[in-house]
Amino acid sequence: MYRTLSSVMISVAVVLAACNPTTPNNVNSASPTDSSTNTSVEKNEPNSQYKPAFAGQTRIAAVKTQTAFESKLLSKELNRPWAIISLPDGRLLITEKEGTMRIATTAGVLGTPITGLPPVDHESQGGLLDVALDPAFSTNRLIYWTYSGIVGDATLTAVAKGKLSADEKTIESVKVIYQATPAFNSKQHYGSRILFDKTGNLIFSTGERSDKRTRPQAQFLNSSLGKVIRITTDGKPAAGNPFSGVDSARPELYSYGHRNVQGLAFHPTTGDLWETEFGPKGGDELNRVVPGKNYGWPTITYGLEYSGEKVGEGIQQKAGMEQPVYYWDPVISPSGITFYSGNSIPEWKDNLFISGLSSMQITRLVIKDNKVAGEERLLTDVKKRFRDVTEGKDGALYAITDDGCLYRIGK
């Protein structure tokens, strides 16, 4: 009897834990949190006793979406997806870590795997990573992507471009346009996101490869590790870059002092570039990227080593180094991000959405005057590692999880 009952309970639990098909957001919102209540969504103790540099730099007051919306599981058939973007016709282009791409309809119907990409090292954090469409994609079908390239017994973050075939089954005329050297024998901290800026150049991010030997290179202007980088569509340094003409600096660098940037997005109204990066224990960051600026890693950080020891001198502020707009302690593990520019849910306008890995949720940040004004955590019930989130042409958000789920979040 007990066994039967517990089997039933386990079955129910499994069903609940699986990709939840439909989850209205207002089921338990009989008394929605007042957005003026000065309480954070974070209830756990911080790892460090470090003090923020200014009010509102961490643990901002919670907000709660008042518009009714739902999260809907569209597919659970993706193979380790990493990035999701919208195509001009409204369908979704999704990268899969092992080296393929898929096109999905907004109903969740998946196309066949798109092949023909260069080999990737998909061990640990590596693989086929982000993808961006050429501004003239509708006519030239060109795409650009980042991936973990293999160089001898080492790896690096690389950028390639190619043409999506008419039958959407392969990538043609593939050309590797940039390699973020030096290569290093690590399987971690590749970055990376890639975007077109309004000048038609590519902006993408790298990581510092998660090793104490390469970590200092985040501060070196003659290394491409731990950077935001801006290049032409042929992989050359873009005109107007901040270190162009500076001796011993790489002219493709755009900003430096980053640890592992997996979120990059342009603010829809201001046009500013924002990034999220994985910090160490208790030091995940949100930054507004200004060209030429130093974002501090590994000299300043609000996090600790995973051992609990301080990082370097254990300082959080230094002249000449930028403060994060916001940080999380404990971490949320911020992967892909997107600003919401749609009209379907008006209170989300210009809000930043951040896919969370270890935190298994999607963070919504209200941003006002370049500061965080409120934080909400969405889809906490499905218990999934959210890898990326993008805005659909229909005003909904679309998100992917490490275990292959595709969600639609909207009205």
The letter for the amino acid at 94 is I
CB 297, min distance to Ca ion, A: 5
Query: Contact, 127 vs 155, CB < 8 A?
Result: no
How many amino acids of this chain bind Ca ion (CB under 5 A)? 3
Q: Which is nearer to Ca ion, 315 or 373 (CB)?
A: 315
Q: Which stretch binds Ca ion (CB under 5 A): 98-106, 164-172, 178-186, 283-291?
A: 283-291
Q: Which is nearer to Ca ion, 242 or 404 (CB)?
A: 242
The interface mask with Ca ion, positions 305-344, x = CB under 5 A, is ----------------------------------------
Query: Contact, 19 vs 405, CB < 8 A?
Result: yes
* 296 belongs to the binding site for Ca ion (CB under 5 A): yes
* 256 belongs to the binding site for Ca ion (CB under 5 A): no
Active-site residue, from 122, 189, 258, 267: 189
Q: Which stretch binds Ca ion (CB under 5 A): 106-114, 123-131, 278-286, 354-362?
A: 278-286
Query: Contact, 399 vs 104, CB < 8 A?
Result: no
Q: Tell me which residue has its CB nearest to Ca ion.
A: 296
Q: Which is nearer to Ca ion, 295 or 386 (CB)?
A: 295
Q: Which stretch binds Ca ion (CB under 5 A): 79-87, 180-188, 292-300, 375-383?
A: 292-300
Q: Which stretch binds Ca ion (CB under 5 A): 97-105, 215-223, 228-236, 288-296?
A: 288-296
CB 283, min distance to Ca ion, A: 8
- Tokens at residue 121, please? 């090292």
Considering only 178, 295, 326, 339, the residue that binds Ca ion (CB under 5 A) is 295
* 283 belongs to the binding site for Ca ion (CB under 5 A): no
Q: Within 10 Å of residue 26's Cβ, how many Cβ atoms? A: 14
CB 91, min distance to Ca ion, A: 36
Ranges within 57-116 binding Ca ion (CB under 5 A): none
267 is catalytic: no
Residue 227 burial (10 A CB sphere; 0-12, 13-18, 19+): buried
CB 356, min distance to Ca ion, A: 19
Q: Which is nearer to Ca ion, 50 or 295 (CB)?
A: 295
Q: Which is nearer to Ca ion, 285 or 388 (CB)?
A: 285
Q: Which is nearer to Ca ion, 207 or 296 (CB)?
A: 296
CB 185, min distance to Ca ion, A: 26
Q: Which stretch binds Ca ion (CB under 5 A): 19-27, 67-75, 285-293, 398-406?
A: 285-293
Query: Contact, 396 vs 406, CB < 8 A?
Result: no
Place of tokens 């150049």: 201
CB 264, min distance to Ca ion, A: 15
The letter for the amino acid at 208 is E
Q: Which is nearer to Ca ion, 237 or 296 (CB)?
A: 296
CB 294, min distance to Ca ion, A: 9
CB 300, min distance to Ca ion, A: 6
Residue 211 burial (10 A CB sphere; 0-12, 13-18, 19+): middle
- Tokens at residue 15, please? 């069903």
Q: Could you list the residues that contact Ca ion (CB under 5 A)?
A: 285, 295-296
- Annotated catalytic sites, by residue? 189
